[in-house]
Structure 1
């Protein structure tokens, strides 16, 4: 988002509102591996609500994920497909 910094004299200068990202270590049950990602607190709450990293990534749209999360999603899908075939 964009907005303005407004001074005491009411001078407006452009500014950006960036998301508050925090580092988190997330465990993948399918891969048996932990991943360190920088995610927002809202995303962390969504992960808990959806049932973990694997469930969140399989349901998420590719456009909404970062390139690193897309790589993890492909690994998870391949592992789940291999488990279903066996």
Structure 2
């Protein structure tokens, strides 16, 4: 009798574990890939939409592009942002 109870408990736990994994996989497939992350390099800009309304949009700074707001002293880039010549 004891072996039957232990076997039943093991079967129930195994079924719950498999159901949890299947539910996680189905949820992950429904959600899809994550949106692209916003890096800390860039700025918020107020843009006007075609219908006349406005919204703030994050404008990411391009790699290798150093505008006056990101390079106030007009220094040359260094590190991994070095411009190839």
User: Quick check: TM above 0.5?
Assistant: no
Give the shorter-chain TM-score range.
under 0.3
After TM superposition, the score normalised by the length of structure 2 is: 0.26
- Structure with more contact order per residue of length (Cα contacts < 8 Å, sep ≥ 6): 1
Rg larger for: 2
Richer in helix (by share): 1
Richer in strand (by share): 1
